[in-house]
Structures are given as C-alpha cells and as structure tokens.
Amino acid sequence: MFGEKAAKGGFPTIEVFDRRSMTLDELVVYPLFTAEFLEWLKQSIPPAQQDRIIYTAHIRGWK
Amino acid sequence: MSLTETEIKESIIDTYTKVASNGRLVAERFYSPEELQGLPTSAVELALGVGNPVRHAGLRPGEVALDLGSGAGIDTLQAARKVGPSGKAIGLDMTPEMIRRARANAQAMGLANVEILEGPMEAMPIPDASVDAIISNGVINLTMRKSQVFREIHRVLKPGGRFCVADMLINGELPDEVLNHPTAWTG
C-alpha cells in the first residue's frame, strides 16, 4: 500500500526490506493497546488471519 | 459510521499524551545495547516504533535529518549523534506532551543540534528542499492522508535526499469494525 501512496507523492520507486509478520499477541508490548482492546481484536479478526494480517517493513526512497 | 480525520487525530493526541511506559520491551526489540547506550531512560522506555530506520538511513556527519512523529525522541536523538554537531536533527510531532519530553531528553543529553517542532506531517513547518534524510518509525500508518505525507516528504527533501521509514502495514482486509475503532488508528 505504501508503494502506491509514495508514488502519488513523487517517489515512483521505493525499496521495501526487512519485512516481518507481527502477530496480534506481539502487540502486547505496545502500551498503546489495552488488554481489553487486544482481546476484542482477537475476537474481531478471523483466527486464520491473526498471524499474518499485520506486518512491519522498512521502506526507503530517493528524491 | 467511519471516523473522521479530526476524530482520529484527537484520539491519537489523547492516546500519546496519556501513554505510560512499558519498560524497555519495545526498545530492546529493535535497538542494540550500543544504540541505546547514553539515551535518557524516558526516551528508551517510550519507544513505540516498529523498526530501526536510523540504522538504515545512512546518516552522515553534517547532514540535516528529520524524524516524522518523533515522540519522546529515541530516533531523533540517535540521528543527532549520527549527524554530529555540524549537522542537525529535527523532530516533528503533533502531541505537545511528546514534544515536551523530546526536548527534555535532548537537553539531558546536552545535544545542541536537536530541534523539536510541533506540527502535522501532512503540512510540515519545514522549508522546501532543506532536509537530507527523513526517518519515521511507526507513524505514517496513523494518518488517513498518506499520499499527502509523501508529497510533503518530497517537498522538504533536497534533490538526491532520501527517506527511510519503518512502519506497520496490513496484509489483506481488516473487518470494518476494526477499521472504525479509534484505538486501531493509534497504534
């Protein structure tokens, strides 16, 4: 998704690297989310998707 | 009903104003002990990013670096060390409490080459073509106007300048009730 947004912003080519899946359980380290919210999230997202719905990556581009 | 941009921003500012430290859990996941050495506890314990863009930005002495969504300053402070006294690290954030913390952390480190600005990343208070490198860590996902943020990144970068962003992305479709939950937009 960032590729399309970056292209619209003037960066037709970007480099994506260090892509890693993040499970819902890993979100517990972030104090932005309460335990109640994370539990609700687990109930709202189908179990089959929970381990692959979120990922992190580094994105690099040059002007 | 979908959240408005204003509602999302208010929710983000409220969340980041009240956020409590979670110890070093996030920092130790993404930064080496050497990278964390010498940083104020307040910066380390309020690390909320999802990667380590400073490590991959190739910052050099004398450069101007800009950190979008600088928070308590963990990446801005590391960028300041990389660009050195002849360079400058600018942090940009929209949460007054985080700005206060980042300024205090820069002062605690005795860094004179750090400037923390308040403003939105969709309309940065930064002159055109004035920045060598832009970093950001887990922040661009927070805005509804991502293309506008990249337009602003393009505007403020010098010719040949670069950005290195770490962020959280979604693989597939989230249910509508998740997409429209304010907390989902704050992390």
pLDDT tens string A33-45: 788 888 888 888 8
Confidence at residue B185, expressed as pLDDT on a 0 to 100 scale: 60
User: Which residues of chain A make contact with B149, given a CB cutoff of 8 A?
Assistant: 5, 9
Which residues contact residue B119 at a Cβ distance below 8 angstroms, ignoring those fewer than 6 apart? Answer: B92, B94, B125
pLDDT at A59 over 80: yes
Confidence at residue B89, expressed as pLDDT on a 0 to 100 scale: 98
Cα–Cα nearest to A44, from A20, A24, A22: A24
Confidence at residue B178, expressed as pLDDT on a 0 to 100 scale: 75
Strand partners of residue B65: B89, B133
Confidence at residue B62, expressed as pLDDT on a 0 to 100 scale: 98
Which residues contact residue A38 at a Cβ distance below 8 angstroms, ignoring those fewer than 6 apart? Answer: A24, A27, A28
Q: Which residue has the higher pLDDT, B108 or A22?
A: B108
User: Which domain, by its residues, includes A45?
Assistant: 2-62
How many contacts does A have with B, using Cβ atoms within 8 A? 124
Confidence at residue B187, expressed as pLDDT on a 0 to 100 scale: 58
Which residues contact residue A25 at a Cβ distance below 8 angstroms, ignoring those fewer than 6 apart? Answer: none
Domain spanning B5-169: CATH 3.40.50.150: yes
Confidence at residue B1, expressed as pLDDT on a 0 to 100 scale: 54
**Shortest CB distance from B175 goes to which of A22, A45, A56?**
A45
Confidence at residue B101, expressed as pLDDT on a 0 to 100 scale: 96
Asked if B142 and B186 touch (Cβ cutoff 8 Å), the reply is yes
Give the total number of structural domains in chain A.
1
Confidence at residue B22, expressed as pLDDT on a 0 to 100 scale: 74
Interfacial residues of A (vs B; Cβ cutoff 8 Å): 1-2, 5-6, 8-11, 17-18, 22, 27, 29-34, 37, 40-41, 44-45, 49, 52-63
Q: Token digits for B11?
A: 């929710």
Supply the mean pLDDT for chain B. 91
How much is the ipTM here? Answer: 0.88
> What stretch of H or E contains A57?
strand A54-62
Confidence at residue B30, expressed as pLDDT on a 0 to 100 scale: 95
Residues of chain B predicted below pLDDT 50: none
The whole-model pTM stands at 0.91
Q: Which residue has the higher pLDDT, A53 or B108?
A: B108
DSSP H helical ranges for B53-186: 53-56, 74-83, 96-108, 146-156, 176-179
Q: Which residue has the higher pLDDT, B99 or A48?
A: B99
Confidence at residue A36, expressed as pLDDT on a 0 to 100 scale: 85
Domain coordinates in residue numbering, chain B: 5-169
pLDDT at A8 over 70: yes
Determine the Cα–Cα distance for residues B134 and B68; give it in Å rounded to an integer.
7
